[in-house]
Amino acid sequence: MISLDSLPTPGLFRPEDRSAETESSLYVRYGKRVFDVVFALLVTVFILSWLLPVAAVCILFSSRGPVFFVQSRTGKNGRKFKCLKLRTMRHEQPGEFRQTTRHDDRVTKVGKVLRKTNLDEMPQFINVLMGQMSVVGPRPHAVAHDAQFWNSFPEYKLRYLVKPGITGLAQVRGARGETETLVKMQHRVRYDLYYRDRQSLLLDMRICWWTVKSMIKGNVNAW
C-alpha cells in the first residue's frame, strides 16, 4: 500500500513539458468535442436514464455506502478533477491508496459484474458533458497513482497533453488492470502516445466499437 503523504503531487505542465505537443487536426480542435457531446448526450438519454436507477438499487442492496465513488483524477495538462464511477467496493474511510488487484476482497458481488462489463465507468459520460473528459483518450489515473510515475520516465506526463477518456486504445488492446511494475505502465503509455498523435474520427469510432465488444465478452484484465 502507498501512503498519500509519502508521494509528490503531480503538478501542472510547464512550458517545456508542452514542447512535445503535436499540431492538432481540425477534428482534434473542433470535431472531437462535437463527437463527445453528441455521443454523451445519446448515452445519457437512452442508457443512463434507466441504467443508473437499476444499478443504484443493486449497489445499495449489496453493501452499505453511497451509489457513486468520486475520486480525484488527473486531467488534461495535469489539472485535477472529480471522476465519477459507480461504487464497486465496500465503502471505507479515505486512507492509503491501494490499486485494485485480482481477487481483491474489497470488491462486492455486484461490483464484480460492473467492473467486468465496464458499466462502473458509465457515470463518466457526465464528466464528458462537463468538459473534463473525452469519450476516447488515455484513461485518467488516480492522483496518488500518477505520483508514482510522473517523474519516473519522461513520456509519462505527455499522456496528459490530451483529455483523458472513458475508454482508450490501451484499454481495448488489453493494457489495462493493475500496473504494479514500471514495464506494464510503459506499455500502456506507448499506446496512449500512439493515440495522442493519431487521433481521428475513424479511430475514435473503432475504439468505441472495440470497447462495446469487450463489454459484451468481458475483459480478462478487468477486476
**Burial (Cβ within 10 Å: 0-12, 13-18, ≥19) of residue 189:** buried
State how far Cα 109 lies from the chain centre.
22
pLDDT at 200 (0 to 100): 96
What's residue 134's pLDDT? 98
Q: What is the pLDDT of residue 15?
A: 46
DSSP reduced 3-state for 12: coil
CB distance 164 to 73 below 8 Å: yes
Between the two ends of the chain, the Cα-to-Cα distance in Å is 18
Taking only the tens of pLDDT, the chain with its 223 residues reads 334 344 345 565 554 555 455 557 999 999 999 999 999 999 999 999 999 999 999 999 999 999 999 999 999 999 999 999 999 998 776 656 666 666 677 889 999 999 989 999 999 999 999 999 999 999 999 888 888 888 878 889 999 999 999 999 999 998 877 776 778 888 899 999 999 999 999 999 999 999 999 888 866 555 4
Q: In b/e form, how buried is each residue of 194-204, taking b as 16+ CB within 10 angstroms?
A: ebbeebeeeeb
* pLDDT recorded at residue 162: 95
Model confidence, pTM: 0.85
Check residue 186 and give its pLDDT: 87
pLDDT for 21 equals 52
**Three-state DSSP class for 45?**
helix
Please tell me the predicted confidence (pLDDT) of residue 202.
97
